[in-house]
Structure 1
Amino acid sequence: MKKQSEKEKMLAGKPYKGMSEELLNDRQYAKEVLFDFNTLRPREIEKRNELLKQILGKTGETFFIEPPFRCDYGYNITLGENFYSNYNFTVLDCAPITFGDHVLLGPNVSIYAVNHPTHHELRVQEYEYALPVTIGNNVWIGGGAIINMGVSIGDNTIIGSGSVVTKDIPANVIAVGNPCRALREITDKDKKQFAHLDYN
């Protein structure tokens, strides 16, 4: 039986060594592309998007990522339609990270799909492990929020600014805090928030 590479182990959710030559080369390639992305002039939106398509696993027809943006590999990131992230979006995508449609991210949002062993003897051997992150449709994540590995966030949910998400968050709620917890449901009453405004 053929021995699995460290990349194959990573993608299979097994412990792996992140400093293997193949994974290091993958990260270096992503950094080179993102260096170009992050240094383009603000008006060069089409060039920015073309660069992202070189490294991201999948995108919708419409997406907008404000530079600067950082990720480990890119190929583990899937964007739904009408994705938007504000400045300083950081993604450690050692496992699949999937966004639904119409997702909004505030500035300084970070997603960490990877972790290190608890015991130091395993850490010094450079082992890591990674678990997927799934974010549903119509989710809004406030500025400075941190999403940890293995987490799912349900459709239509809002994650408050500065929250640290360590466990699954259900659909249709406002969730805040460290650790992040559901505060209340989002209901039809919330539609009245801007009822006094003229949309014409």
Structure 2
Amino acid sequence: MNSEKAKMIRGELYIAVDPTLAEDRRAARELTKQFNDMTQAESPEAKAVMKRLLGSMGKDCLIEMPFRCDYGYNISVGDNFYMNFNCVFLDGCPITIGNRVMLAPNVQLYTASHALDPEVRSSGLEIGKPITIADDVWVGGNVTVVPGVTIGRGAVIGAGSVVTKDVPPMCVYAGNPAKFVKKIEPKEKKERAWGKHGLKKLKSYKLHLIQR
């Protein structure tokens, strides 16, 4: 398949004003408006809209309003995913997010890019690269992730960072551009005990929501 949509998803130059892509963006705007007009992110109605919008969504996910994306169908999120307020995903290429990932407010994931040559750029051609966020990643507030980046398992991205290169697993990165801060060591006994207590509280909270 060599449609503009297929070129976009493959990360090749494509015509963004293609009628099929324009209709896909319109459909995504309608669904995000439905979602953003709601008041309870954990409601069955809100989750149903997100399942229609996203390419795939795992179990026990919570996505806060408002949320914006270009297409939706190029976004896949794993189990126990949490996304705070006002995040933006430009998903011309696939955005793949693993299990137990947490995104703070105003996180921006941009797969979309443009040619450096102004003549090519003014022609309306665009290009993108996929973004991958592995399991157990925590991304701080106001972080921007640019096209082509992979963030490894268990990594932490400091608030306000601009992530321009791949982040290895179990590392803290921060800054603009984001740079290595430290390696994340195995949990201390106190932190491990707190984590077990937190999981019990979370399960109790989810049970409460189901029973309401």
TM above 0.5: yes
Counterpart among 75, 78, 102 of residue 77 in structure 1: 75
Query: Counterparts of 2:125 and 2:74 in 1: how far apart (Å)?
Result: 19
Measured on the aligned residues, the alpha-carbon RMSD in Å equals 1.9
Give the corresponding residue for 2:24: 26
Give the corresponding residue for 2:188: 191
| TM-score, normalising length: structure 1 | 0.93
Using a 3 Å threshold, how does the CA distance of structure 1 residues 197 and 16 change in structure 2: closer, same or farther? closer
Q: Give the number of aligned pairs.
A: 197
- Unaligned stretches of 5+ in structure 2? 201-212
Counterpart residue identity of residue 58, structure 1: S
Query: Counterparts of 1:61 and 1:37 in 2: how far apart (Å)?
Result: 18
- Unaligned stretches of 5+ in structure 1? none
Post-superposition Cα deviations, 1:79-129, rounded to whole Å, max 9, x if no partner, equal 010000000010000001101100000000000001011111111111110
Counterpart residue identity of residue 26, structure 2: Q
| TM-score, normalising length: structure 2 | 0.88
How far 1:181 moved relative to its partner? 1.2
Counterpart residue identity of residue 8, structure 2: M
Detail structure 1 runs of 4+ shifted over 3 Å in the superposition.
Answer: 192-200
**Pairs within 5 Å for 1:50-61:** 50-61=48-59
**Pairs within 5 Å for 1:1-200:** 4-42=2-40, 45-188=43-186, 190-191=187-188, 194=191, 199=197
Q: What is the percentage of aligned positions where both structures have the same residue?
A: 40
Query: Counterparts of 2:151 and 2:193 in 1: how far apart (Å)?
Result: 31
Query: Counterparts of 1:140 and 1:60 in 2: how far apart (Å)?
Result: 17
